[in-house]
Amino acid sequence: MLHGSRIVPVVVIDDAAFAPDLADALAAGGIPCAEITLRTPAALDAIRAVAGRPRFAVGAGTVTTAAQVDASVDAGATYLVSPGFDEAVAERAAHHGVPFIPGVATATEIQRAIAAGLDHLKVFPAAAVGGVPALKAFAGPFPDVRFLPSGGVSAANAADYLALPSVFAVSGSWMVPSTALAARDADTVRALSAAATAAVAASAPTR
């Protein structure tokens, strides 16, 4: 789904024309994917601008309605991410056959997602719900679930999350800061992506 990447950049972009250069910069830094959030009017156009690139997975983030599922898939998103879990969104993603990673924060929400046939879940907001200790606790009763911590994940703690066998990737925006996106600064994105890739290289492999 993510072409092997263990880092998922969370991109809030206002200029769709910069999306191809952004994707090139991420890939050059060793991150072959991006989650473009539906928080700006430019999001769907940005997804379209990079959809279909070989070995680069573009997903839609902040997907909260079935209509947004349709729009994201039409734009070319190859996976969908949500801050929470909603049955209608999950059903619509399944209808399209597109991987869906819903957000969860409690054991009850994890159980609901499992009942819907999902086993790759976003823990959000990861830091606020307990960080690494919370992920360790969730792994006990849910050994077959793999997690994507997001919210409070940074260059300083990404490797700590990735050292957990239950974590398949981490999600964050430290390699795509708003200042760099506003300035169309691909060099900074490339450098931060390369640093992020190097920083997590020593973390234990997912299983």
Q: How far is residue 35's CA from residue 30's CA, in Å, rounded to a whole number?
A: 15
Q: How far is residue 61's CA from residue 102's CA, in Å, rounded to a whole number?
A: 10
Whole-model pTM? 0.94
pLDDT < 50 regions, the chain: 204, 206-207
Instruction: Specify the pLDDT at position 167.
Output: 97
pLDDT tens digit string along 123-180?
999 999 999 999 999 999 999 999 999 999 999 999 999 999 999 999 999 999 999 9
Q: How far is residue 60's CA from residue 72's CA, in Å, rounded to a whole number?
A: 6
Annotated catalytic residue, options 87, 91, 109, 122: 122
Residue type, 47: I
From residue 183, how far is each of 9, 176, 178, 188, 189 by CA, in Å?
Answer: 18, 11, 8, 10, 11
At 22, list the tokens. 């952004």
Which CATH architecture best describes the domain 7-200? Alpha-Beta Barrel (3.20)
Distance between first and last Cα of the chain? 15
Closest C-alpha to 155, from 29, 12, 17, 4:
29
Contacts of 49 by beta carbon, 8 Å cutoff, 6+ apart: 16, 17, 19, 20
Contacts of 60 by beta carbon, 8 Å cutoff, 6+ apart: 35, 36, 37, 38, 43, 44, 47, 68, 72, 75, 77, 79, 80, 81
Annotated catalytic residue, options 35, 87, 91, 136: 35
Return the DSSP state at 204: P
Instruction: Specify the pLDDT at position 205.
Output: 52
Tell me the chain's radius of gyration from C-alpha atoms.
16
Active site residue 136: no
Active site residue 87: no
Closest C-alpha to 162, from 185, 146, 180:
146
Domain ranges of the chain: 7-200
Instruction: Specify the pLDDT at position 201.
Output: 78
